Structure 1
């Protein structure tokens, strides 16, 4: 399995679990939306990390310098965008905020990966 396919599968799982659990938590619980978002993001990360351990990885791509700090900053950015949108427009559905925050995170991550690859070469 190529590293791009593996990354796409893990990212799709993370976003799917995050969106599904956020929808369930916001409709079924009385908790604050930001806490629901934190729980759904955590569950998505756990699911993606569990699948990360199971899926085979190419031996030359096991350690890519700069990738995990980019992921950590992207997740903080993701939650920050969601918190800002949820506090500024609480009348909008949380899944709309989720879509915007994942779009911003993917743009940030894509630009970051481009910069890392350009710096290495």
Structure 2
């Protein structure tokens, strides 16, 4: 399996799980958008970790230094962008904020992976 295919397989399902669960939580509960987002982000992270254990990895990709700190900062950035947007524009649907926060996180992660690979080589 190529790096890009594995990356897409590890990324797309957790984002869909995150979006679906956020939509369910915001319509079914009265906990608040930020709490619902925190729960959906946690479930999406658990889904990503489960997929990470299931999807086969090439030997040279098994241990990439700097990847997990990048993921941690990306998750904090994701929640921070969502919280800022939700507090500044509460009249906008939460899925719009979710989409924008994931877009920012993916851009940040793409540049971060590029810098990690460039630094290693």
Tell me whether the two structures share a fold, i.e. TM-score over 0.5: yes
Structure 2: gaps of 5 or more residues: none
State the Cα distance separating 1:35 from its structure 2 match: 0.4
Please name the residue that 2:88 is paired with: 88
Please name the residue that 2:6 is paired with: 6
For the residue of structure 2 that corresponds to 1:113, the secondary structure is helix
- Aligned CA-pair RMSD: 0.8
Structure-2 separation of matches of 1:52 and 1:120: 22
For the residue of structure 1 that corresponds to 2:30, the secondary structure is coil
Structure 1: gaps of 5 or more residues: none
State the Cα distance separating 1:28 from its structure 2 match: 0.8
Structure-2 separation of matches of 1:51 and 1:44: 11
1:47-66 equivalences under 5 Å are 47-66=47-66
For the residue of structure 1 that corresponds to 2:113, the secondary structure is helix
1:98-109 equivalences under 5 Å are 98-109=98-109
Structure-2 separation of matches of 1:42 and 1:69: 17
Q: Give CA-to-partner distance per residue, 1:5-49, whole Å, 9 cap, x none.
A: 111111001111000000000011111100000000011111111
Aligned length: 121
Q: Give CA-to-partner distance per residue, 1:41-65, whole Å, 9 cap, x none.
A: 0111111111111111111111001
Which runs of 4 or more aligned residues in structure 1 lie more than 2 Å from their structure 2 counterparts after TM superposition? none
For the residue of structure 2 that corresponds to 1:50, the secondary structure is helix
Greater shift after overlay, 86-95 or 3-12? 3-12
With normalisation by structure 2, the TM-score equals 0.97
Please name the residue that 1:68 is paired with: 68
